[in-house]
Amino acid sequence: MRRSFTIQLVAALLLAGSVWAVDVKMASHLGSFAWRHNAEWFGGFSAIHVSDDGGSAIVLSDRATVLSVRFQRDGVEIKDVQILGRWPVLSSTGRIMLGYAGDSEGIAVAPDGSFFVSFEGVHRVAYYSAPGTNARVLPRPQVFNELDRNGSFEGLAIDGQGRLYTLTEKNRTVQGNIPVYRWDGQSWSTPFVLPPRDGFLPVAADFDPDGRFYVLERKVTLTGFRTRLRRWQIESDTPVAEETLFETGTGTHDNLEGLSVWRDNQGVLRATMVSDDNFIGLQRTEIVEYALPD
């Protein structure tokens, strides 16, 4: 892997036990790990949730499969991924879901380890008390039925109050904005919208430990994928202080679709992302990490 002098310096500081959070002024690429596994079910990863210590993660495939994995790190970079467990994402009746019904795209993990999954083919969000348990589907408002079949809930996030946020990849408001839907435990609402920019489409979302809202975006070109990460502060249900943390050129990364934002033991804010290879040999599954500015 080719590394810049800056990344080598960061790794050296970490190994020496230095705290370098104050030096992160702009997003910096920490590493990309090509994740390979021979099983037929491997691939299509659309969401990721990294543990607080950065040592493990839950990864979701868009073919209704959830994995528990452990990372082996060398300094700032992931060097290996060990699969600890694999479970089907089941329906409310305990059936294995296939096709559009099982198009699982986003994951949001609660503090007790239970989690929610958003689905794109049949537009809905479901609750799971643990991997391998039956779904409890949240109520679906009429507006969900009107969404694009292959352009709805790619991203799912949970805030510090336990409220869920999901947003559509392709559907827009009459004014052309990206609607953000929130589940407060009782009902769905649309607390705010986000401005689309430059043809990028939202594919994942998360909140950082300080409550800021992140959206991972993708742009597909004839020669590959471009990636962008934006961030907002949410004040009284209003997104403010929009920032573009990074924007890549075509082919820098593969089809990044999953996002998890966390803070490592050095105090550095990190974005960990996973790519969806669409089960196509020309694409690759990779886990990509960036250090983010505070």
- Average pLDDT value for residue range 103-130: 96
| pTM beyond 0.85 | yes
For residue 158, the enclosing domain spans 5-292
CA distance 164 to 162: 7
Q: What percent of the chain has pLDDT over 70?
A: 91
Q: How many domains does the chain have?
A: 1
Other beta carbons within 10 Å of 66: 22
Asked if the model's pLDDT at residue 129 lies above 80, the reply is yes
Residues 222-261 pLDDT 10s: 899 999 999 999 999 999 999 999 999 999 999 999 999 9
Tokens linked to 28:
């910096």
- Read off φ and ψ for residue 174, nearest 5 degrees: -60, -35
What per-residue confidence (pLDDT) applies to 113? 96
Here the CATH number for the domain that contains residue 118 is 2.115.10
What separation in angstroms does the CA of 56 have from each of 12, 68, 116, 195, 276?
23, 8, 18, 33, 19
Split at pLDDT 50, 70, 90, the class of 24 is: low
